[in-house]
Amino acid sequence: MKAILCSAYGPIDGLTFVDLPEPEATGSQVVIKAAAIGVNYPDGLLVQGLYQATPELPFIPGMEMAGVIESVGPEVTRLKPGIRVVATAGTGAFAQKGVFAEAQCIPLPDQVTDQDACALMCGFGTSHHALKQRGLLKPGETLVVAGAAGATGLAAVQIGKAMGAKVIAIASSEEKRNAARQAGADHVIGYDNLKDQLRELAGKKGVDVVFDPVGGDTFDTLVRTMGRNGRYLVVGFAAGRIPQLPVNLALVKEFSLVGVFWGAFTQHEPATYAENVRELFGWYLEGKVKPLIGARQPLSAAPKVLTRLMERGVSGKIVLDP
């Protein structure tokens, strides 16, 4: 089978497109024949050695695969060949076939496309966990979403609306702002004069919840817009600079800085994660959320796609066709 291989941590263009032996399912594993493969920002960090995890080399990157189960190991009890599933793991998805534990696979309703299923996992899953468990977002609150045209940003806009919030989306270009508008944001703004724009939109009360996958200068501005009892969600650092918090701001404004790590959440709270997945798929079937598939590319193009993603050049979710 064809796959993307990371043989050394370093530049993304060091990834190779190679032939590998057909995978086999052992124990409680299944083999999935891929129909769609999700691409995520952490994938780019991982292959450069910049992520929290460092898999043993060589490895196949990629966190999400949707497709049909081809074979199962002898200890599999719930799944069988022919079932459509979406699977998530730290690695292993950038291939025509993937090996995943049975527990990592979720059967797909017929109404959920393979591409959307990939988007609903890491991207929507991160935003959902951030706003529900970490941000405790309430109906009527003001939510600010930075990087609002990225996969997690657009998800946060839609989920924020589904949870009843007033959503202010921030995006860097008119094309990206249009994507945020289509996702349902109440207000869409750029990064120029950001503090003044947010003061006008949020009023004297300030911002209740910030969803920030950007960091850098954006963080420096947004922490000064927080309202009392606000929650600032630290999701990532797409701008490249990890900012530092003047802690006196948290004291004076009485807001909380809250970290969001979806991968750790799925491992430490599997029952809550499963309930989140059920709610997300329910919202999808009800039409409350709908991923934007911003690009579809062949598996062989994964290095170029990852580079473009790291440069924040894509709106919505990128999907690879195996």
Dump pLDDT digits (tens) for 187-204: 999 999 999 999 999 998
* Among 6, 122, 1, CA closest to 61: 6
In this prediction, residue 162 has a pLDDT band, given cuts at 50, 70 and 90, of: very high
pLDDT of residue 217: 95
- CB 280 within 8 Å of CB 255: no
- CB 211 within 8 Å of CB 236: no
CA 157 – CA 143 distance, rounded (Å): 9
pLDDT of residue 314: 79
- CB 85 within 8 Å of CB 108: yes
Question: What is the pLDDT averaged over residues 165-192?
Answer: 96
Phi, psi of 146 (to 5 degrees): -85, 160
In this prediction, residue 47 has a pLDDT band, given cuts at 50, 70 and 90, of: very high
pLDDT above 80: residue 313 = no
In this prediction, residue 240 has a pLDDT band, given cuts at 50, 70 and 90, of: confident
HSE on the CB side for 149, CA within 13 Å?
21
pLDDT above 90: residue 143 = yes
How many other β-carbons are positioned within 10 Å of the β-carbon of residue 55?
16
As a whole-number percent, the residues of the chain with pLDDT over 90 amount to 93
What's the mean pLDDT when you consider all of the chain?
95
In this prediction, residue 58 has a pLDDT band, given cuts at 50, 70 and 90, of: very high
pTM above threshold 0.85? yes
pLDDT above 90: residue 51 = no
Question: What is the pLDDT averaged over residues 80-86?
Answer: 97
Instruction: Please state the length of the chain.
Output: 322
Task: Enumerate domains of the chain plus CATH numbers.
Answer: 2-108+292-321 (3.90.180.10), 124-263 (3.40.50.720)
- CB 156 within 8 Å of CB 127: yes
pLDDT of residue 223: 97
The neighbouring-strand residues paired with 31 are: 71, 99
